[in-house]
Amino acid sequence: MKEPVTTTVWRLIAVPLLCTLLAASALAQESEEAHNNRNNSLTKGAWAFQFEIVGDLFNLDLRNLFGTTLALKKHTSNSSALRIGLGLGFNLSDQDRTSEQDGDTVIQSDYDRNNQSVNIVIQKIFYPAPTADVKFFYGLGPLASFNHNKTTEERPSPTRWTSSETYSWSVGVTGVLGVEWFPTRSISLLAEYGSDIQYEWQERKNKSLRTYPDDATVLSISEDKYKNFSLGTSSVKVGLSVYF
């Protein structure tokens, strides 16, 4: 459920500000000796696969951090990185619904569905105190998605054919705020909170063709267009990064 706009805006302003102040304080207190003894992979040129830890204590599972096909991060310095989430989806199904009548198989309907989707998120990540024990980070970047879905169904008695096709697009900006801790040099645990601003538009076209016993046919066509602007927040994600 979407949170009220005032609550979302407050979080977008207050939470990053508080985190930045804490990170600046940690940076000011760190000594050069501590800097030299840190053991992590926040170095220029380092790559990392990032996963979200989901489930309960006895049924843990990993999935890509953005819920996409791939979630990858590359460090451009010890205090900044570029993170990308890329998702590709494709589904094609053909289902015949049948019944038995007097020992014969009768097709009740022929149902086809195909779906394609693409979504991408790019974030610039900053670490104000990269040598701290617990590393605060924040990030900002664009997001975009496209989805196409089409279903058709044909019934032989009475003859009827229906089709529904939907196109949807969205673009926006996403932000993230979190902490990261390295139990080993190449593996880190993280917790982050995200929010986004999106503009979405959708087009849907429905068609129906029906043939009656007297061979009369009726064709119906309807089109809908939908546009929406939204502010959204996500629950806190717990994740795992594997550096290489």
Place of tokens 């830890």: 53
pLDDT at 152: 86
pLDDT at 92: 77
Token pair belonging to 136: 């605060």
**Cβ atoms of 176 and 192 closer than 8 Å:** yes
pLDDT tens-digit map of 149-208: 998 888 776 677 888 999 999 999 999 999 999 999 999 999 999 999 999 999 999 988
Q: Which residues of 21-39 are buried (b: 16+ CB within 10 A; e: fewer)?
A: ebbeebbeeeeeeeeeebe
Among the residue ranges 23-37, 48-62, 84-98, 222-236, the one predicted with the least confidence is 23-37
| In the predicted structure, residue 28 carries a pLDDT above the cut 80 | no
C-alpha span between 117 and 87 (Å, rounded): 8
C-alpha span between 145 and 89 (Å, rounded): 11
* Three-class secondary structure assignment of 56-115: CCCCCEEEECCCCCEEEEEEEECCEEEEEEEEEEEEEEEEEEEEEECCEEEEEEEEEEEE
Place of tokens 């989901």: 54
The count of C-alpha atoms lying within 13 angstroms of the C-alpha of 209, restricted to the half-sphere facing its C-beta, is 7
| For residue 130, cis peptide bond before it (omega within 30 degrees of 0) | no
- Domain map (residue ranges) of the chain: 5-243
Place of tokens 């102040």: 21
pLDDT at 191: 93
pLDDT at 148: 94
C-alpha span between 144 and 198 (Å, rounded): 9
Q: What average pLDDT does the chain have?
A: 79
C-alpha span between 143 and 125 (Å, rounded): 15
134: pLDDT confidence band, cut at 50, 70 and 90?
very high
